[in-house]
Structures are given as structure tokens and as C-alpha cells.
Amino acid sequence: MTGYLLRRLGVGILMLLALSVLVFIMLRLTPGDPIDAYINPSAPMSPEALAELRRRLGLDQPLPVQYLAWLRAAAVGDFGFSTQRSGVAVLPLVLDRIWPTVLLMGAGLAIAIVVGIAAGIWGAVRRGGASDLALSIFSSVGISSPPFLTGLLGLWFFSTQLRVAPSGGMLTPGAPFSLWDLLGHLILPACLLSIGHAALIMRYMRSSLLEVLGQDYVRTARAKGVREVWVILKHATRNALLPVITLIGSTIGIAIGGAIFLESVFNWPGMGLLLVNAVNGRDYPVIMCATLVIGACVIVVNILTDITYAAVDPRIKVAA
Amino acid sequence: MTARSAGPIRRAAQRFAMNRQALLGLAILAPILTCVVTYDLWWGFGPNDIDLLSINRGPTAAHPMGSDGVGRDVLARLMQGGRTSLMVAVISVAISTAIGFLVGAFAAFGGKFADAGLMRFVDLAMTLPPVIFLLVLASIAGTGIGPTIIVIALLSWPVLSRMVRARLLELRERDFVVAAKGMGAGVPHLLLRHGLPNCIDIIVVYATLQVANAILLEAGLSFLGLGIAPPESSWGNMLNAARSGTVLEQYPWQWMFPGGALVVTVLAINFIGDGLRDAFDPRSGLN
């Protein structure tokens, strides 16, 4: 198990390095000179001063050297300064934004997992019935609706029509911090984020459970006289959960995408909003750092998924 | 030989014609496509015609879907937007399908090192959230129809390349391919004559579902202001208007109609794609 973990961690670090190379190259392919960000447009500089500045920033070096210099600084947490907000260091700016996003995604995923699995079980048990049909229709529409559209609809309905939800943000500005205030702001975007995921989880859970319910050991359990509720919850659901766990782990990327859009709709001060604003303002140090932090989170989640999978399914010997 | 090779395709077509959900998808998509392609022949307003007597008005007889903040007809913009969105989606999927096939083919036929290198790259591209790449690429490419097509095309090929590679690796060992190779066929011949026809099911299903995905990607990018820029209209940038609280609250027709068109179109294409998948691979539809 430890060897497996170390190997997965090693691969993860390699992927992170590869990602940093990729993003570094992509950002240097952009039209425009990176030196422009350091020049005051209203005060023209002499070519000598420009060359001096270029030399001081290391921009006269070949690309691989620039990359290594960037990497050496990044390894000790120095990602440079934001070009959009002058003098603000990038790393604290990005790290500050992690927990709001984690909160939003965590709440959204938790709702999606509970609702999706319950609805999937219900659909499989009531296969072909009216409620199964209704759930299938909900799931098809949920998968086809982009998060920013459900976000707009939810904001319009709950905030402008019913007036029961705040119109965005994470806390009421100026008010003292309170958990209720936070929850009141969190509940709507989290529920909206969960829609697409619940739909996907439900679809997988339903078909996986239907497959398991046709297995011999389920028939055996029924023949032994085990009550139907136990057959479904204990014998069938536990086995049907396996592919669903893989699905949940592999859709974490989609969840991040959804969170980015919902953060834009709800003005939620997370990584997504930061990244979108950085892209709009071509703030490359922030884009670079945020991309790497998100990449690292995804890689860690993937490793955790594999471990959970091994814990739930004893047939898998991770040590092998 | 041609008559016999039409067999599996014809059987798939028959299975597709029996699939109610897929037919429903076609029935929804056909009128949308017709409207979007032909609207300028029969609709009185152009997407950028300004009617100063009707600014931010709700649905009326003259403007059945209302008008926007500068007096443009929402219905006309909706249909022109559909044209833009569908065109961007179809062209970008065509490009990414070609890239996906070529990369998959190169991995399968290009030797061990090409294979390992390409597949690790695909792993990397698949691990990371697509939206992140989308944003990074968009920050480089800028806004407009051309850059948006390129961004979406560059994002969508990795999954296809992996499926094509798996199919071609299997095909490479089949007797008829070994025989063709033995008779001196080169790689281009093997790929076009044997590889492509035997991957056609993967490609058709993938491309169909990917069109739905590409429509959503375009809408997402334009919604964030990074895709198609006004005055050009697309479903995404019509939704972008709703980021203003006034439009969201007081002029819902300006964003609800494009939102509805988006969801209905994507749903219909997903139905068709699922139907095609079940038609090509009858086992996948058993549960």
C-alpha cells in the first residue's frame, strides 16, 4: 500500500511538472511581449533602459532557462506578483481563494451524491414506473443544462421573484461573520451546482444497480428470505456503488468547471472568479499559479479516489 | 464486397429507426436546424436591425420574443445566434475529430515511443479540468469566431484519440490487415482503406455527442465574455447579457429564450447521439 501510494504520488508530481511546462509554453506563445506588463505606457523608456529591465527580469534568457528560473522560485512558493493588481503577491492571493471554492464544491458534491444515489436506487427499484420516467427526464435535462444557465434561472427565481435568497456573494458585506449568513449564501449555488452531478450519478447508479439486481447472489439472498429492503440496501447497493465511486472521482474536473461558472454568476469569491478575472485581464502569473493549484487538487483527488475504491472493493489489491 | 460491407451500417440504421428517443431527438432538431439555416429568407428583422420604437419591450406581435436594450429583435438574434453556435460547434468538432483520428492512428502505427509519448500527453490532458484548459487557451487566442473554434477544437480530441488507438491496435493484428501489409500496402492505404471504415462507428457517435458538448463550451466561453464577442450574436453571448442584474430581473425574455434554445438543442443532439451509440453497439443498450 505504501509503495503504491508513493508511486502514485511520484506520477502525480511528474504530471504537475508536465502541466507547468505546458502552461508556461502556452502563455509564452501569446501575442505581445511579457515586458509590456512592467512598462508604464505614459512614460516611454529608452531602448537601453528597456534592455536593462529585460535583463533584470531574465527575459533575455532562452525559454528553458526562463522556465527553470520560474520553477526554482515556484518551488519555494514565489509565483511572482499579479500584473493586474500591482504589488500583490500571487500565491497568497490564490491560496485565499481555495477555501470558498472547496466549500461550494464540497457542499454541491455532497448534495449531488446523496440525492443522486437515492434517486438512482429509487429509479432502479421502480423500473419502468412513472417515478422512474420522471427521474429519467430530470436526469436528461440536468445533464444537458449548463451550470451557468441553471445558475441564472435559480438566481432569477429565488432571488428576484421569491426574494428568499441573497443575490450573490459569500457573506453580507459589513455584517459580522455568522454561520447562518454563510449558509444562507451557500445553499442556492450549492444546490444548483449539484443538479448536473446528481443527474449523472443517478444515471450511473440506476444502471449499475439494475445490473447487480440480476446477479445470482441477489437471487440467493432473496431465496434465503432476506427482506427486500435489506437485499437492495445491503447486498445490491454496496456492489453497485463501485462504478459510481469511480464516476464521482473522475467528474471532479467537471465539478470544478461548474463551480467556475457558478462563481461568476453568484459573485462567489473563489478560485473560479479569480481565474476568470485573471483571464479577462491577461494576468499571466495568476493564471499560471491558479492552474497549477487546481491541477494539484485534481491529482490529489484522483489518488484519494483510487484509495477509496480499494477500501470499498476488497478484490482490488493495490499493493500488487 | 461493397454490398456486403453495407451490412452493419444498414443494421445500425434499422436499430436507430426503432429507437423512440433518438427519433424524438431528430424530430426536435430538424425544425430548429431548418429555422436557423433559412431564417433570413422569411423573417422580417435582421439580427442587428434596430427598432428604436421598441427598446427592452416584452414579447409583442411584431417581436414575438421581445427586443433587447438597443431595440434589436430577440427572435432574429436567437436564430442568427443558433447559426453561429451550431457552426462553431460543427466546425470545431470536425477539426478535433480529424486531430483525434490522426493522433490515435499515429500512436497505433508510429512505434513504441510515439505511442507512449502521445498517450501520456492524453493522460495529462484528460486528468485536468477541461474548463481550465479552455480558459488558458481562450486567454491566448482572444475572442471571435475563429479563435473560439480553435480553442474548442484543441480541447476535444484526446478522448477520441484514445478510442481510435485502441481500435486500431486491435485491427493491426487482424488477418486482413496483416495480409494487406504483406502485399505491400503502406500506412496511408492501411489507415484510409482499413482503419477509417472500421473506426466509423466510434467517430460518428463521438462526433455527434461532441457537437452537443461543443455547443455548451461555446456558450460557456461566450457567457464569460471570452468567446464570440458582440455585435455578432451567439446563444452564449445572449446569455451573457443576463450577468447584468437589470436584464436578469426585468427583461427575462432576453436571456430565457436563448437559454431554452440551448438546452433543447443539446438535449436533442444527446438523444440522437445515445441512439447512434445503441444502434452501433446493441450490447450497450441492454440495461
Predicted pLDDT of residue B123: 80
User: Residue B131 and residue A260: Cβ atoms within 8 Å?
Assistant: yes
Compute the average pLDDT of residues A101-108. Answer: 89
Label residue B56 by pLDDT band (50, 70, 90). confident
The CATH number assigned to the domain holding B195 equals: 1.10.3720.10
How many Å apart are CA B160 and CA B202, to the nearest integer? 8
Range of the domain at B108: 26-43+76-280
Predicted pLDDT of residue B282: 63
**Least-confidence region, from B11-20, B74-83, B126-135:** B126-135
From the CA of B47, how many Å to the nearest CA of chain A?
22
From the CA of A83, how many Å to the nearest CA of chain B?
14
User: Residue B220 and residue A299: Cβ atoms within 8 Å?
Assistant: no
Whether B5 is in a domain gets the answer: no
Whether A118 is in a domain gets the answer: yes
Stated length of chain A: 320
Compute the average pLDDT of residues A296-312. Answer: 78
Label residue A47 by pLDDT band (50, 70, 90). confident
Cα→Cα distances A100→A110, A175, B239, Å: 15, 18, 25
User: Residue B135 and residue A287: Cβ atoms within 8 Å?
Assistant: yes
Whether B80 is in a domain gets the answer: yes
Q: Helix-strand-coil percent breakdown of chain B, rounded to 5? A: 75, 0, 20
**Which chain A residues have a beta carbon less than 8 Å from that of B139?**
27, 30, 278-279, 282, 284, 287
**CA closest to B134 among chain A residues:** A257
Q: Nearest 5°: phi and psi at B73?
A: -75, 125
Model confidence at B1: pLDDT above 50: no
Predicted pLDDT of residue A28: 73
Label residue A39 by pLDDT band (50, 70, 90). low
User: Residue B224 and residue A264: Cβ atoms within 8 Å?
Assistant: yes
Predicted pLDDT of residue A37: 64
**Which chain A residues have a beta carbon less than 8 Å from that of B253?**
none
Whether B64 is in a domain gets the answer: no
**Which chain B residues have a beta carbon less than 8 Å from that of A210?**
287
> Smallest Cβ distance to A141: which of B120, B252, B263?
B263
Compute the average pLDDT of residues B135-139. Answer: 81
Residues A243 and A144 reside in one and the same domain: yes
Residues A75 and A161 reside in one and the same domain: no
Whether B143 is in a domain gets the answer: yes
> Smallest Cβ distance to B223: which of A143, A148, A210?
A148
Model confidence at A300: pLDDT above 70: yes
Give the CA angle between residues B217, B92, A197 to the nearest 5°: 30
User: Residue A257 and residue B263: Cβ atoms within 8 Å?
Assistant: no
Q: How far does CA A20 lie from the centroid of its chain?
A: 18
**Least-confidence region, from A166-170, B99-103, B207-211, B226-230:** A166-170
Whether A57 is in a domain gets the answer: yes
Compute the average pLDDT of residues A121-144. Answer: 87
> Smallest Cβ distance to B130: which of A29, A253, A302?
A253
Q: What's the CA dihedral at A30, A35, A40, A44 to 10 degrees?
A: -110
DSSP code per residue over B248-278? HHH-THHHHHHHHHHHHHHHHHHHHHHHHHH
Predicted pLDDT of residue B5: 52
**CA closest to B259 among chain A residues:** A149
- What kind and span of H or E run contains A13? helix A2-28
From the CA of B177, how many Å to the nearest CA of chain A?
36
Predicted pLDDT of residue A320: 42
User: Residue A18 and residue B242: Cβ atoms within 8 Å?
Assistant: no
User: Residue B127 and residue A148: Cβ atoms within 8 Å?
Assistant: no
- Tally of domains in chain B: 1
Label residue A238 by pLDDT band (50, 70, 90). confident
The CATH number assigned to the domain holding A237 equals: 1.10.3720.10
Residues A198 and A173 reside in one and the same domain: yes
| High-pLDDT (> 70) share of chain B, % | 96
Predicted pLDDT of residue B284: 54
How many Å apart are CA A263 and CA A256, to the nearest integer? 10
pTM for the whole thing?
Answer: 0.85
**Which chain A residues have a beta carbon less than 8 Å from that of B127?**
15, 253, 295, 298-299, 302
Residues A42 and A85 reside in one and the same domain: yes
CB A124 within 8 A of CB A206: yes
Strand partners, A81: A89
Model confidence at B128: pLDDT above 50: yes
Predicted pLDDT of residue B90: 94
Q: Between the ranges A13-27, A98-112, B56-70, B237-251, where is the mean pLDDT highest?
A: A98-112
Size of interface A-B (CB pairs under 8 A): 121
> Smallest Cβ distance to B124: which of A18, A211, A257?
A18
Question: Average pLDDT of chain B?
Answer: 84
Compute the average pLDDT of residues A61-83. Answer: 80
User: Residue A279 and residue B135: Cβ atoms within 8 Å?
Assistant: yes
Residues A82 and A107 reside in one and the same domain: no
| High-pLDDT (> 70) share of chain A, % | 91
Whether B56 is in a domain gets the answer: no
> Model confidence over B174-197: pLDDT tens digits?
888 888 888 988 888 888 888 888
DSSP code per residue over B116-181? HHHHHHHHHHHHS-HHHHHHHHHHHH-SSHHHHHHHHHHHH-HHHHHHHHHHHHHHHTSHHHHHHH
Greater confidence, B51 or B200?
Answer: B200
Residues A56 and A131 reside in one and the same domain: no
Residues A263 and A168 reside in one and the same domain: yes
Whether B257 is in a domain gets the answer: yes
**Which chain B residues have a beta carbon less than 8 Å from that of A155?**
248
How many Å apart are CA A304 and CA A314, to the nearest integer? 16
Whether A311 is in a domain gets the answer: no
From the CA of B128, how many Å to the nearest CA of chain A?
6
Whether A175 is in a domain gets the answer: yes
Residues A60 and A114 reside in one and the same domain: no
**Which chain B residues have a beta carbon less than 8 Å from that of A143?**
270
**CA closest to B140 among chain A residues:** A30
**Least-confidence region, from A167-176, B89-98, B143-152:** A167-176
From the CA of A206, how many Å to the nearest CA of chain B?
9
C-alpha cell at A96: 485565499
Compute the average pLDDT of residues A6-24. Answer: 83
| High-pLDDT (> 90) share of chain B, % | 15
Instruction: Give every CB contact of residue A155 below 8 A, 6+ residues apart in sequence.
Output: A165, A167, A168, A188, A265, A266, B248
Compute the average pLDDT of residues A268-288. Answer: 84
Substitution target in B124, B135, B244 with the highest count of A β-carbons within 10 Å is B135
How many Å apart are CA A76 and CA A64, to the nearest integer? 19
Whether A282 is in a domain gets the answer: no
**Least-confidence region, from A25-34, A100-109, A138-147, A189-198:** A25-34
Q: Among residues B127, B272, B66, which one has the least CA distance to residue A252? A: B127
User: Residue A295 and residue B132: Cβ atoms within 8 Å?
Assistant: yes
Residue B66, classed as helix, strand or coil, is coil
End position of a domain, from candidates A48, A67, A89: A89
Model confidence at A208: pLDDT above 70: yes
Whether B17 is in a domain gets the answer: no
> Smallest Cβ distance to B239: which of A152, A257, A279?
A152
Compute the average pLDDT of residues A278-298. Answer: 83
Residues A109 and A23 reside in one and the same domain: no
Model confidence at B285: pLDDT above 50: no
Q: Could you count the other beta carbons within 10 Å of the beta carbon of residue B98?
A: 14
Asked if omega into B231 is within 30° of 0 (cis), the reply is yes
Residues A74 and A134 reside in one and the same domain: no
Cα→Cα distances A156→A168, A204, B119, B237, Å: 11, 31, 44, 18
Q: Helix-strand-coil percent breakdown of chain A, rounded to 5? A: 75, 0, 25
- Tally of domains in chain A: 2
User: Residue B139 and residue A30: Cβ atoms within 8 Å?
Assistant: yes
User: Residue A146 and residue B220: Cβ atoms within 8 Å?
Assistant: yes
User: Residue B131 and residue A295: Cβ atoms within 8 Å?
Assistant: no
**Least-confidence region, from A72-76, A186-190, B27-31, B51-55:** B51-55
Residues A58 and A150 reside in one and the same domain: no
User: Residue A291 and residue B136: Cβ atoms within 8 Å?
Assistant: yes
The answer to whether the complex's ipTM is over 0.90 is no
Residues A112 and A200 reside in one and the same domain: yes
Range of the domain at A26: 2-89
From the CA of A216, how many Å to the nearest CA of chain B?
17
Model confidence at B23: pLDDT above 50: yes
How many Å apart are CA B219 and CA B260, to the nearest integer? 12
Question: Average pLDDT of chain A?
Answer: 81
Predicted pLDDT of residue A319: 46
> Smallest Cβ distance to B263: which of A26, A149, A155?
A149
Compute the average pLDDT of residues A294-317. Answer: 76
Cα→Cα distances B238→A148, B67, B226, B242, Å: 13, 12, 13, 8
| High-pLDDT (> 90) share of chain A, % | 6
End position of a domain, from candidates A41, A72, A89: A89
User: Residue B140 and residue A287: Cβ atoms within 8 Å?
Assistant: no
From the CA of A81, how many Å to the nearest CA of chain B?
18
> Smallest Cβ distance to A257: which of B131, B219, B249?
B131
Whether B58 is in a domain gets the answer: no
Predicted pLDDT of residue B269: 92
**CA closest to B239 among chain A residues:** A149
